[in-house]
Structure 1
Amino acid sequence: MDPPLSSATYSDGHMKETWRHTLILSFQTLGVVYGRLSTAPLYVFGTIQTTDFKSNQTAYEYFSFIFWTLTVVSLLKYAVIVLRADDNGEGGIFALYSLLCRHAKVGLLPNDRSTTEVMQHEEVNTSSIKVESRARRALKKYRSSHYLMLFTALFGACMIIGDGVITPSISVLSASSGLQRSLSDIKCFATSHYGTHKIGFMFAPIVTLWLLFISGVGIYNIFHWDPKIFSAISPAYMYTFVRKMDKSSWKSLGSILLCIAGSETMFTDLGHFSKKSIKITFIFLIYPLLVLCYAGQAAFISKHWNGTENFNHLRESVPKHLRHVFTLLSLLASAIGSQAAITASFSIINQCLALGCFPRVKVIHTSDKRHGQVYIPDVNWLLMALSLSVTLGFRDITRIANAAGMAIVFGMIVTTCMMSLVIGLYWEKSLFVSGCFLMFFGFVEAVYVSACMLSFHKGAWYLFVILAVSFTIMLAWHYGTMKKYEFDLQNKVSTEWLTDYSPGLGVSRVPGIGLIYTDIVTGIPAFFSHFITNLPAFHQVLIFVSFKPQPVPCVPPGERYLVGRVGSKDYRIYRCIVRYGYCDQVRDTDDFEEQIIGSIGEFISLEESDYESLTPNEGRMMIVGKPLLDRKALIPTDDTNLVSSSANVANNETVASTVGDLIERNTPIRRKKVRFLMRENSPEMRVSVREELQELINARESGTAYILGQSHLTVRDGSNFLKTFLIMAYVFLDKNCREPPVALKIPHAALVEVGMVYII
């Protein structure tokens, strides 16, 4: 857990930065966000073919491209413009996508109409006031635009993952060789589990020393070899390069592109830090020091282009008596540079997972203060294996650089396209402003795309292999999830079926609480009706729990739980909808059961003051958002005693069937973390409310069982090849990813799984 920082807190729970806090975060960004940008000098000039240097003017032309690419893309596009498009402090492709989902209504989250009616986020009310422009109406109307937005976001996510695979290889290969290479490659993944906070403090001093060293060497080379190198800032040198270019020289622009490798990380890792800290570090430290380093290297190359072997490698520009220091720092910095891309991969996968576009994996939140700081062990091992395969398979830094350049530029193009829509639809700027942003930055990136495509057969093809695999995984998982949800909607039964079915056919109510996990928010899920039909018994208190993702980073705790009734009060059946954002830690928290029970208790006490509750209406939900310790209905107390539910069930003479025995065996006997008590002196509380609360407490003491549907998807006969392939891929992923009980931290003894065949 992170140590506390000096900061204040707003009333809505967001952290207000002090200058001390900003400076601490700025220092940490050096070890996480800017590790990649800082190590780019290791391979920018070094991956250009030595035969491409025709004269000393060539070094001037390349430096001119580097300077203006850093200025236009890294400084102007990302530091000045894109960082302003944060989604409540979160950045990345899915932050832009979530903004478009809310303000252009292009989301494809699995919600039906009834879900939308009861799950309106507060921010939606502000957007509804905005004037419906023609572009917004067109995007909202055509379903194809919704899929296009989703596919674009997934494509950008795949590029970030591909960059996370390739970056460790190129960073380490450029700084080391032999056995040291492989060991360093593993080292950058072995430190990922420490979390952004610790990694930032561990690595920031090393990156600072590295930047000061290479910029110092740059200043030395400028004054010692060619003080006129800064005249190359003139765009005239770029014009000269373009005028006399050929295929070979144009291909070298793919190496120049690497100077902005890591710029996308500034936006992707925004959730780990803050806009102010990222901007301050880049503008006042990273940008000027990198310009000095590249200028010094270009000055050295301009005097050695036809002499020294490997003259274009950064190591050759370092004075000989300092090369041992350079070797040590470059090895350390290359491992650190890889960490930025790995961290960005964790962030984007966590967002995909929350929005139902990635298979279930274990997500560890490494900070309780910043929601975006996560570590995913399964993905970390996978990235390490793929990165090692790239390193050992290619063994050529130029080929790996070609793939890295392709991942960088395609990721930036996705950001440019989505950012242009955000400018027009969210910032509500004119079509001219949005179009200018798209045309200007799109043109710059298109130039580099054309250069990278010339090297497609020399390493860049590997990126498309990663793209094909990762995009198929995401698309198949999203498609399977949507089809399952549609099947549940079509096959759900009405609430009356459950309430009318029970008395007539001798359905038993056994002590305890049954938590039924389902995706639908109205009606009874098909798997539970299947369960009741074959085994006519269920618990005295039933709670239908639905997790519903929202296109926001975090849902405030006060707006997270929506609670309502299923049927009349006598049935003791409730529904709880848990709303969460793509950075929230909700599903795998240890106190989730206590939060649900506390929310139900608060709902029971608040319901009496709601006159609409007199008329049963399943669609009517109530927001219950008080912290567990501040609630008035039930008081949580610690309890370390073992509570056996079997004794309570045995005392209930109504349970005599084998069905009751089945549920009894699946009711957990475990150590409770929290017990609930009612306030003794509450004269304002009605007798019926106290009775219902007491019944809820008694049911909790009897134990809690978790009832999940175990789906088995099969493809309908006559389906086309694409549908069959996606469903088969989903089934394979579902069988090989983490099981739902593991992802939800459900005790094995408390689990009841109901098998159900889904014909898609």
Structure 2
Amino acid sequence: MSLTAPAASETGHHDDPVRPRPATSALALAALGVVYGDIGTSPLYTLQTVFDPVNGLTLNALNVVGIVSLIVWSLTVVVSLKYVALILRANNHGEGGIMALLALAASSVTTRARLRRTLLAVGIMGAALFYGDSVITPAISVLSAVEGLEVAAPFLKTCVIPVTLAALITLFLMQKRGTAGIGKIFGPVMVLWFVVLAVVGVVNMTKAPAILVALNPFTGLAFCLHHRWLAFVALGAVVLSLTGAEALYADMGHFGAKPIRLTWFGLVFPALALNYMGQGALLLAEPGALQNPFYRMFPQWALYPMIALATIATVIASQAVISGTYSMTKQAMQLGFLPRMNVVYTSEREMGQIYVPGINWTLLAAVVAAVLGFGSSTALGSAYGIAVTGTMLITTILTFFVVRYAWHYNWWLCVFATLFFFIIDATFFSANLLKLTQGGWFPLLVGLIIYTVMATWGRGWEMMRAEARVRAGTTPLGPFLATLLARSPTRVDGTAIFLSADPDGVPHSLLNNLMHNRVLHARVVFLTVNNEEIPWVPASQRVSIQSLGSDCYRITITYGFMDEVDLPRALEICKTSGLAFEPADTSYFLSRATVVPTRDSGMAMWRERLFAVMLQNVGNVAAYLKLPANRVIELGARVEI
């Protein structure tokens, strides 16, 4: 498969290579509202899931202190050291996230074809697991918050599922309106959330100060050595405290590494550590609080306000994951791993504010199915860990190749820098594999479906481009155009733009137009769209123009995988070279391919048929390219793969 996008990839408002950022304090506040929603709401369900009777871990003082120690030091090692200290440095021109990391890793081994293909396959699996994570996160987060109703009033237990579904459905229905307005309150709400976590944690620590022993890393180690197998099983639930760690890296492009590091060490990490220790102290003093240790930390009068605050916090966490899913989908489309889908930009000022209807409704259906199928946050916790740890493990693998082949660090330094984290991630992932039958199959099934779609589309598109190059090789553009012009064809007024995947080949749409209409426009443009494995391409490098004589031109438009789709806007840049396009006189000629699966080569027959179905049902290409609908002419082409 290839990282070259379909001849349909576009750009946005990041035309300038350097753009001023707001003040660090403003970015830090905004980051609190976007980056930390997922990991910040993990205290709602982590300890309760760890001591679920299904896991077989007895609730006693030694076990409570040992588990809290493992949680605190997991946050220290995995989040603080791995993500904040190391992974945030692996940026692709300032952008983060698994797709950006995949592009960076793959571009660093372009001379090693087999290794590159392997990295692409691994990276696509990581992206696919992220989709599984994006299904579980809204379900478990909102459900765990609403379960506070059971604590406040046990007779409200029957209302938990309906209230959760109502909140989630409302959230997904609001996506098309964008988050520009409500997003302004995300930061302050999350500041309040983390302050409350810290304060209630400290208050409850006074009930059993012995919980401070958990700060000693050897406490967690002693717990593991004592329990061994049970400790290994418990790690599958401990990892729930790390959910959302990927968001620190994925959202780096929006806020920068410095504000993320500042907020993590200045507020989020201390608040989480204090809250987990507070819950541990509560369990030491009142073992009966295991029913819901988070809400049991609060006095009765504070329960309803906390349920409201927790629900808002989990909605914010869900929003961050949903927005991240839209963003990754857009990147995957432009890197050539997903079919074209309609992308709606919900804000004129913020590039990142997008809405993908197809993903939105698919995600909603999956989230509703997860809530109804699992029924409780504890049950969902069993399904959660595999997607999270799988993505974390793949991030570590890709980081090694970036450190070694992109940064060119010493081999042994690269091994030791990433092997330590690889062992930890692999241990967490292995522990979660034990939960396959308890719900772990769900995110794996989602991931497998998405992986099949992404891998099939990527390989199928690569085969189509190869077939197009073969056809173009038999009809090179230069000689064909010279022969055509020598015959003095009838030329009509206006501009014809023929989109072509190969700049040196004759577009199939031109051949069809000549065969059916027997005319050539007064001005002819052969347009090719290329994607670079970088997030943004400056306006100065956006358009390349080559005159072919007789008012014929070859234009290449280059985009990064974070850029916005808008061909007419990009063509406006040609004015500076004296090539202006009048919209009313410009027609766009596109080829719409019909794929015919064959048994000769390529993919398995069922994958070729899947690709053919996807290609036949992809979104409207004119809308994807933002072409005026009344100026587009689509001509058919038959392609065998």
Instruction: Tell me the TM-score normalized by structure 2.
Output: 0.90
Q: 1:359, CA displacement in angstroms?
A: 1.0
- State the SS of the aligned residue for 1:457: helix
Q: Determine the structure 1 residue equivalent to 2:3.
A: none
2:489 aligns with one of 507, 523, 544: 507
Quick check: 1:511–1:539 contact (8 Å CA) kept in 2?
yes
Q: Distance in 1 between matches of 2:137 and 2:545?
A: 46
Q: Determine the structure 1 residue equivalent to 2:270.
A: 288
Determine if the alignment matches structure 1 residue 208 to structure 2 residue 191.
yes
CA deviations over 1:434-471 (Å, ceiling 9, x no partner): 10122100111122112101111110001111011111
Q: Distance in 2 between matches of 1:197 and 1:443?
A: 40
Q: Distance in 2 between matches of 1:711 and 1:89?
A: 36
Matched AA of 1:218: G
5 Å-filtered alignment, 1:475-494, equals 475-492=455-472, 493-494=475-476
Q: Distance in 1 between matches of 2:583 and 2:391?
A: 53
2:108 aligns with one of 103, 118, 123: 103
2:248 aligns with one of 266, 273, 277: 266
Q: Distance in 1 between matches of 2:630 and 2:176?
A: 30
5 Å-filtered alignment, 1:398-477, equals 398-477=378-457
Q: 1:53, CA displacement in angstroms?
A: 2.9
Q: Determine the structure 1 residue equivalent to 2:150.
A: none
- State the SS of the aligned residue for 1:272: helix
Determine if the alignment matches structure 1 residue 531 to structure 2 residue 535.
no
5 Å-filtered alignment, 1:345-424, equals 345-366=325-346, 371-424=351-404
Q: Determine the structure 2 residue equivalent to 1:497.
A: 480
Q: 1:593, CA displacement in angstroms?
A: 4.5
5 Å-filtered alignment, 1:71-110, equals 71-105=76-110
Structure 1 residues 559 and 368, CA, compared in 2 at 3 Å: closer, same or farther? farther
1:33 aligns with one of 18, 32, 35: 35
Q: Determine the structure 1 residue equivalent to 2:621.
A: 740
CA deviations over 1:730-751 (Å, ceiling 9, x no partner): 2211222212112122233322
Quick check: 2:95–2:253 contact (8 Å CA) kept in 1?
yes
Determine if the alignment matches structure 1 residue 186 to structure 2 residue 169.
yes
- State the SS of the aligned residue for 2:337: coil
Structure 1 residues 145 and 578, CA, compared in 2 at 3 Å: closer, same or farther? same
CA deviations over 1:85-133 (Å, ceiling 9, x no partner): 111221011222222343332xxxxxxxxxxxxxxxxxxxxxxxxxxxx
CA RMSD, aligned part only? 2.3
Q: Distance in 2 between matches of 1:194 and 1:79?
A: 33
**Does 543-552 or 468-477 show the bigger shift?**
468-477
CA deviations over 1:520-541 (Å, ceiling 9, x no partner): 1113123422432343212110
Quick check: 1:516–1:543 contact (8 Å CA) kept in 2?
yes
Structure label with greater radius of gyration: 1
Q: Distance in 2 between matches of 1:278 and 1:304?
A: 36
Aligned pair count?
610
CA deviations over 1:688-740 (Å, ceiling 9, x no partner): xxxxxxxxx7xx487111100010110224457x4322221122112222121
Q: Distance in 2 between matches of 1:193 and 1:702?
A: 31
Quick check: 2:346–2:353 contact (8 Å CA) kept in 1?
yes
Quick check: 2:65–2:211 contact (8 Å CA) kept in 1?
yes
Determine if the alignment matches structure 1 residue 324 to structure 2 residue 324.
no
Q: 1:516, CA displacement in angstroms?
A: 0.6
Q: Determine the structure 2 residue equivalent to 1:728.
A: 609
Q: Going by fraction, where is helix more abundant, 1 or 2?
A: 2
1:577 aligns with one of 538, 556, 560: 556
Q: Distance in 1 between matches of 2:403 and 2:394?
A: 14
- State the SS of the aligned residue for 1:554: coil
Structure 1 residues 364 and 451, CA, compared in 2 at 3 Å: closer, same or farther? same
Q: Distance in 2 between matches of 1:437 and 1:373?
A: 35
Q: Distance in 2 between matches of 1:50 and 1:357?
A: 39
Q: Determine the structure 2 residue equivalent to 1:714.
A: 596
Quick check: 1:358–1:473 contact (8 Å CA) kept in 2?
yes
Quick check: 1:491–1:525 contact (8 Å CA) kept in 2?
no
Q: 1:273, CA displacement in angstroms?
A: 1.8
Q: 1:376, CA displacement in angstroms?
A: 2.1
Q: Determine the structure 2 residue equivalent to 1:131.
A: none
- State the SS of the aligned residue for 2:145: coil
Matched AA of 2:494: G
Q: Distance in 2 between matches of 1:298 and 1:533?
A: 78
Matched AA of 2:495: I
Structure 1 residues 588 and 17, CA, compared in 2 at 3 Å: closer, same or farther? closer
Matched AA of 1:355: L
* Same amino acid, percent of matched pairs: 28
Quick check: 2:51–2:59 contact (8 Å CA) kept in 1?
no
Matched AA of 1:14: V
User: Tell me, which stretches of 5 or more residues in structure 2 are unaligned?
Assistant: 1-12, 147-159
5 Å-filtered alignment, 1:522-561, equals 522-561=504-543
Matched AA of 1:164: S
Determine if the alignment matches structure 1 residue 14 to structure 2 residue 23.
no
Instruction: Tell me the TM-score normalized by structure 1.
Output: 0.77
**Does 250-259 or 537-546 show the bigger shift?**
250-259
- State the SS of the aligned residue for 2:49: coil
Q: Distance in 2 between matches of 1:102 and 1:393?
A: 41
Q: Distance in 2 between matches of 1:318 and 1:544?
A: 67
Higher normalized contact order (CA 8 Å, seq sep 6+, divided by chain length):
2
Matched AA of 2:184: F
Matched AA of 1:439: L
Quick check: 1:87–1:552 contact (8 Å CA) kept in 2?
yes
Structure 1 residues 749 and 701, CA, compared in 2 at 3 Å: closer, same or farther? closer
User: Tell me, which stretches of 5 or more residues in structure 1 are unaligned?
Assistant: 1-8, 106-139, 603-632, 635-675, 677-696
